[in-house]
Amino acid sequence: MPSAPTHAAPARNPTPNLRERFDAMRNLGPFLRQIWQTSRTLTLASLGLRLVRAFVPVVTLYIAKLIIDEAIRLVGLGLDFGSLGEAWRSGQLDTLVTLLALEFALAIGSDLLGRLVSYADALLSELFTNATSVRLMAHAATLDLEDFEDPDLQDKLDRARRQTMGRMNLMSQLFGQVQDAITVVAFAAGLLVYAPWLIALLAIALIPAFVGEAHFNALGYSLNFQWTPERRQLEYLRQMGASVETAKEVKIFNLHRFLIERYRTLAEKFFLANRALARRRALWGTVLAALGTLGYYVAYAYIAWRTVRGDFSIGDLTFLAGSFLRLRQLLEGLLIGFSQVAGQALYLDDLFSFFEIEPEITSPADAVPVPRPITRGFVFENVGFRYPDAERWAVRHLDFELHAGEVLALVGENGAGKTTLVKLLARLYDPDEGRILLDGRDLREYDLDDLRANTGVIFQDFVRYHLTAGENIGVGRIEAMHDDARVRAAAARAMADEVIESLPRGYDQLVGRRFKNSVDLSGGQWQKIAIARAYMRDAQVMILDEPTAALDARSEFEVFQRFKELSDNRTAVLISHRFSSVRMADRILVLDQGRLEASGTHAQLMAAGGRYAELFELQAAGYR
């Protein structure tokens, strides 16, 4: 029995405990390093502007105190001015006007600083999202095919993809925390002169709100984590119900009511779970926040009493009351913000744990290049493979040779293992048993990129790229995409040139239905372009896995006949359900339930009278 894959990151508890929540804070370091690497200039600009802005509230409040004290001083002087002009000329208002102008300038400056911070954050957020998305796509490209066929990894990929878009508010929050912390220190430094014990009172009173917020952040993360499969189902239903690819069947079978009802049922369950959590959060949040409010009013009452007693001036009262109010808000924001940061650090785990997944199918350190040309071919030695978590072997005990320059056909009923065999040949999978040799060397000894560069594969479920017709062919050899001569030659070999020349803009025509001014193609036209993509690769090994299923029997025969003629001395593998097409192959392998049942030419297999002859006669009878 093959061992389970070991390259996936370890599973994490969907309901993290307190220690796990704090452990997740380790993600902040790599997160901040990524932000720094994205743009050092914008990072420094955002932090620098926030540093300046951190002192603005303290300075503004202190100037307000001086304004009140100055106004009260002027009232105490009993000055009697007949008009504002007279008061202005007397010079008595100079200090007051200066203070008002200074406060006005601070207000304008604070607003400007806020807008500059938002501007820097918006640019940094966009760059970070782009950079992280590129990194995610680049890492996903290195993973094994079996990873993408694993539902658990699809959930992880979905969560990681969401984090590339949704984590930049964490950056703003972290930088905002730094700004608020500096403001708190500035306020506290001034308040220590008056009543230091009140600061401790405020901090203690806010702890319950902090604990409550941390608890509900963890519950919110747990809910989102556990509902990842359902969210993917919701996205799937949304696509199915409003997609050009499904529109025909949805209309013909009146599926819209079924899809809507399924979506509504699932969405309602998610909504109810979210609502229950939101209610509990609102209730307990109110109760716990009340304790922080109580601490503030105890401090406020104490300051008011000291003012009545004459210890503080009215300006002092204004400054102290405003300072304690702001300090309370800032401390509450810092504590709750810290809890939210810890909660969001859990989401970063979804992103970074995806980047920790390592592929199993890689090039060895001492990888060798693929021989040019291939002289002997491939040898399958007792090859067996079973898909992860599957009980049945997809293929087993495969022993055969694929000679260099040979055109080999694979036939068999659905589930016989034909596609699995070609995936092993292209090293999209590695065997669980046995080995595959190329010119006497294990396939795993070759450089992976070089091996795939020398293999051209078109699968039955080939991709229809919503690009131009020329680009659809050019992706077969991306570095030669702009080589028009090569693209046109590949199209001619696949008999796709007539299809493309009939398009309004020829090779520059956007194809598909997704974008404006694009032209959709029939299934057979798409398949000819996909086959041209394989010719574009100009690889030593060519594999066609039922890419002509949408073509009629005559067209498929012509495509395969042309393929055989143009294969030169290339090694080729053909898979088709039409036995009239595969009979042109040099040799035919008959697969049944993952095992090799027979091998030979068409004439030899017909003479043997086994499964091949039986299936051929059944199919031929349908054409009589």
| Tens of pLDDT, residues 577-606 | 777 677 778 888 988 888 888 888 888 888
User: Is the pTM of the predicted complex or chain greater than 0.75?
Assistant: no
pLDDT digits (tens, 9 = 90+) for 331-354: 666 766 666 676 667 667 767 777
Distance of alpha carbon 115 from alpha carbon 173, whole angstroms: 16
Give 6's pLDDT tier (boundaries 50, 70, 90). Answer: very low
**Closest listed residue to residue 461, CA positions, set 142, 136, 149:** 149
**Closest listed residue to residue 401, CA positions, set 380, 382, 429, 375:** 380
Distance of alpha carbon 548 from alpha carbon 556, whole angstroms: 6
Higher pLDDT, 121 or 309: 121
User: In whole angstroms, how far apart are CA 219 and each of 289, 602, 624?
Assistant: 19, 65, 67
Segment 62-67 mean pLDDT: 84
Task: Kindly report whether the peptide bond that precedes residue 373 is cis, defined as omega within 30 degrees of 0.
Answer: yes
Domains in the chain (CATH in brackets) are: 18-355 (1.20.1560.10), 377-621 (3.40.50.300)
- Name, of 70-84, 188-202, 286-300, 470-484, the range with top average pLDDT: 470-484
Contact status, residue 544 vs residue 573, Cβ threshold 8 Å: yes
Contact status, residue 353 vs residue 12, Cβ threshold 8 Å: yes
Q: Copy the structure tokens of residue 604.
A: 């030899």
> Which region holds residue 368: left if phi is over 0, alpha if psi is between -120 and 50, else beta?
beta
- Whether 2 shows a pLDDT value over 50: the answer reads no
Segment 548-573 mean pLDDT: 68
pLDDT digits (tens, 9 = 90+) for 401-456: 989 888 888 888 877 888 888 889 888 889 999 999 999 899 999 998 888 888 88
Q: What is the DSSP letter of 464?
A: -
Tell me the average pLDDT of the chain: 77
Q: Which residues pair with 589 in a beta bridge?
A: 410, 599
Contact status, residue 424 vs residue 385, Cβ threshold 8 Å: yes
- Whether 129 shows a pLDDT value over 60: the answer reads yes
What confidence score (pLDDT) does residue 198 get? Answer: 64
> Which amino acid is present at 208?
P
pLDDT > 90 in the chain, percent? 5
User: In whole angstroms, how far apart are CA 94 and each of 5, 90, 101, 133, 235?
Assistant: 79, 9, 10, 58, 66
